[in-house]
Amino acid sequence: MDVDLRKLRYFVAVAEELHFGRAAARLHIAQPVLSRQIRALEGELRAQLFVRDKRSTALTEAGRRLLEDARPLLASAEALRRRVATAARGTFTVGFMPGLTVTDAVRDLTARHPEVAVELLRTTWEDQIEVLHDGRADVSLVRLPIDRRGLSVRPLFSEPRVAVLRADHRLAGKESVRVADLAAEHLLNHPDAVPEWRDVATRLRDGTAPPWREFRSVEEKLEHVAAGQGIAVVPLSTSAYYTRPDVVCVPVEDLPPNEVCLAWVASRRSPLVFAFTEACVRYNRIAE
């Protein structure tokens, strides 16, 4: 039996909304049409997916299992569509994290493959591998740690990490600091991103730390540092790229370096992926 992806999309909308009317509005189709499609899917699968009455809609056990499998299947289908569309346009997309530059490797690739148009996509800690799985990028320069499942990962280089402090911070004049010196500070990074700080953080231990909030960019994080609302730990290249007079960067002696790698979907066998990988090897002096 072939699974109809359109019916799966309809099913996921209903499963997430648990309301046929809202799901139909989200899909921009009439509710009776949606109901017929769900019944048809249940017939094809020979399983009841929803328990429905006048007041509520709930997933059955079969429906919950289908939802678990349908989401990644639809995501893979969308990623495939994007990759095919990108190939048809003759483009190759490179993702990169803040502070990293890909200029030399891109020039190398375009010199060897002048028929290819290279597009660049700036990523964040939250989406640096998501752009690979969903097809927005062909390769991505990432900062570890990442979830490596389904990916090929090639180490590039490592670099020290520094603490970004307000210019008048008590530690701003130090040549270097240790993690213990930062124990009483409010860290703007997610605690799991700097586990060495998390393990000694005073306010995490006594429960007085404010809730962590997600920042959409390095610039936004630096604004909070400059306003005296906390400190940040960033790789050296990021601190060098985003210089400003109201913050200073101090090396942290006992933090392990940040590892920079090139990543791509493991199942891909594109010659352009391997050509770009080799260009990155040449320009980043990777230790084999």
User: What's the confidence (pLDDT) of residue 228?
Assistant: 94
pLDDT digits (tens, 9 = 90+) for 160-206: 999 999 999 999 989 999 999 999 999 999 888 899 999 999 888 88
Task: Give CA 253 to chain center in angstroms.
Answer: 28
Q: Half-sphere exposure of 231 toward its Cβ, with a 13 Å CA cutoff?
A: 28
Q: Give the strands of the sheet with 151-159, arranged side by side.
A: 117-122, 91-96, 139-143, 258-265, 151-159
Query: Average pLDDT over the chain, rounded to whole?
Result: 89
Beta bridge partners of residue 187, listed in sequence order: 231
Q: Give the strands of the sheet with 247-251, arranged side by side.
A: 232-235, 161-166, 247-251
Residue 9 scores a pLDDT above 80: yes
User: What's the confidence (pLDDT) of residue 161?
Assistant: 95
Nearest to 131, CA basis, from 102, 98, 94, 88: 94
Query: Cβ(49)–Cβ(11) under 8 Å?
Result: yes
pLDDT digits (tens, 9 = 90+) for 108-152: 999 999 988 899 999 988 899 999 988 899 999 999 989 999 999
**Which two tokens mark 75?**
């995501």
**Sign for the pseudo-dihedral over CA of 45, 51, 53, 55:** negative
Neighbours of 40 (CB within 10 A): 13
Q: What is the CATH number of domain 161-251?
A: 3.40.190.10
Domain with CATH 3.40.190.10 in the chain: 90-158+258-284, 161-251
CATH architecture of 90-158+258-284: 3-Layer(aba) Sandwich (3.40)
User: What's the confidence (pLDDT) of residue 81?
Assistant: 75
Helix 5-17 and helix 31-45: axis angle, to 10°? Answer: 110
User: What's the confidence (pLDDT) of residue 205?
Assistant: 82
Between residues 265 and 1, which one has the greater pLDDT?
A: 265
pLDDT band at 286 (very low <50, low <70, confident <90, very high): very low
pLDDT digits (tens, 9 = 90+) for 64-87: 999 998 888 888 777 777 777 666
User: What's the confidence (pLDDT) of residue 86?
Assistant: 65
SS (H, E, C) 147-170: CCCCEEEEEEEEECEEEEEECCCC
Residue 285 scores a pLDDT above 80: no
Phi, psi of 89, rounded to the nearest 5 degrees: -80, -10
Q: Which helix (H) or strand (E) holds 95?
A: strand 91-96
- CA end-to-end distance (rounded Å), the chain: 47
**Which two tokens mark 90?**
């003759």
161-166/91-96 β-pairing:
unpaired
| Inter-CA distances, 34 with 14, 75, 108, 187, 269, Å | 9, 21, 51, 48, 39
Domain with CATH 1.10.10.10 in the chain: 5-80
5-80: CATH topology is Arc Repressor Mutant, subunit A (1.10.10)
